[in-house]
Amino acid sequence: MSDASSGGQRRGLPPVATLILQRLGLSALLLIAVSLLIFVGIEALPGDFASTYLGQSATPQAIANITAELGLDRPIWTRYFEWLGGAVQGDFGTSWASGQDVSAQISRRLGNSLFLAAVAAVIAVPLAVGLGMLAVRYVDRLADRLINIVSLAAISLPEFFVGYLLILFFAVKFGVAPFPATVYDSMSLGERLGAIALPVATLVLVVIAHMMRMTRAAILSIMSSQYIETAELKGIGALRTIIHHAAPNAVAPIVNVVALNLAYLVVGVVVVEVVFVYPGMGQYMVDAVTVRDMPVVQACGLIFAAVYILLNMVADIVSILANPRLRHPR
């Protein structure tokens, strides 16, 4: 009996694979739940597109005609499942305001937002991790205190305030950066990077502080381990000890905080895009909210949620893979 049970355990999935499959399943269920919340929540908002679109000339008959034309007189569950089925296939319907295909518009806008977030991430992630290691190297000394003071100041300021300050000094007073941050298809890579200099700087200043502080905390917790003390007793330099011994064992918490901030870079660009009039997903969604263009708002909300859930799922999977107890079970 014991041999049979042990043989069944050996035939089962490894613990790492089981946990990864669980994360994938939970992420899929969470995305479906969020899609339902987005659809029902937007439907519950006061007002309607027909009244906003027709304005003061709206009559009950005209409102009823537009409502029937858009299919809004059908049951909400029927419309939800039709919308979800289309979204799974990449079809988000047609914009009520412009009559254009929402998926085609989003593909261009999403590319702009991802480009902005990617450039900010390329700068912010290595800079934050490097500053966190530097703070650990000079812990409780002048460099560490200065880094902490600056990071606290950056965390305390909202992104729109940081953006307006950068516009005031670098675009208005000194004239060294463009405003608004306009990009278009025919621009070269260099021209695009120059156009998004201020919004990228805003995003970097907003997210770098949190990543740096969490990196510092994660590495400091590892520095009290016995094997770190052994490395120090062997005469290994402090910086080398941090980079080669402490940092690799702090990967899981660092990856988690980096993933959360990368998710913010994509999802939280709404305010930054509006401040800098950047043609991305955030600006597109705000414009759609203004005219109550619900297909666009629902599509943008679902894509933002999908990106956030995806990045958190990746962080969970990396944490699982970085855990030696799961990779090498006894």
pLDDT 10s digits, 265-311 = 777 778 888 888 888 888 888 888 877 788 888 888 888 888 888 88
Residue 5 has pLDDT above 70, yes or no: no
Domain membership of residue 123 (yes or no) is yes
Handedness of CA 47, 50, 56, 59 (dihedral sign): negative
Domain membership of residue 74 (yes or no) is no
Task: Report the CATH number that the domain containing residue 316 is assigned in CATH.
Answer: 1.10.3720.10
pLDDT at 239: 63
Domain membership of residue 77 (yes or no) is no
Domain membership of residue 60 (yes or no) is no
Residue 6 has pLDDT above 80, yes or no: no
Q: Looking at this protein, which amino acid is placed at residue 304?
A: F
Residue 136 has pLDDT above 50, yes or no: yes
pLDDT at 8: 44
Average pLDDT over residues 104-127: 86
List, for residues 221-261, the tens digit of each pLDDT value. Answer: 776 666 666 665 666 666 666 665 566 666 667 777 777 77
Average pLDDT over residues 50-78: 69
Handedness of CA 72, 77, 83, 86 (dihedral sign): negative
Domain membership of residue 158 (yes or no) is yes
* Of the candidates 238, 246, 240, the residue with the CA atom closest to the CA atom of residue 141: 238
pLDDT at 151: 78
Domain membership of residue 275 (yes or no) is yes
- Structural contact between residues 131 and 119, judged by C-beta atoms closer than 8 angstroms: no
Rounded CA gap, 157 and 145, in Å? 19
pLDDT at 61: 67
Average pLDDT over residues 143-159: 80
- Residues of the chain with pLDDT > 70, as a percent, come to 76
pLDDT at 7: 47
The residue ranking higher by pLDDT, 121 or 185, is 121
Number of domains making up the chain? 1
Domain membership of residue 267 (yes or no) is yes
Average pLDDT over residues 20-25: 85
Domain housing 253: 102-327
Average pLDDT over residues 81-87: 85
pLDDT at 9: 45
Q: Looking at this protein, which amino acid is placed at residue 229?
A: E
- Structural contact between residues 77 and 148, judged by C-beta atoms closer than 8 angstroms: no
Average pLDDT, the chain: 78
Domain membership of residue 75 (yes or no) is no
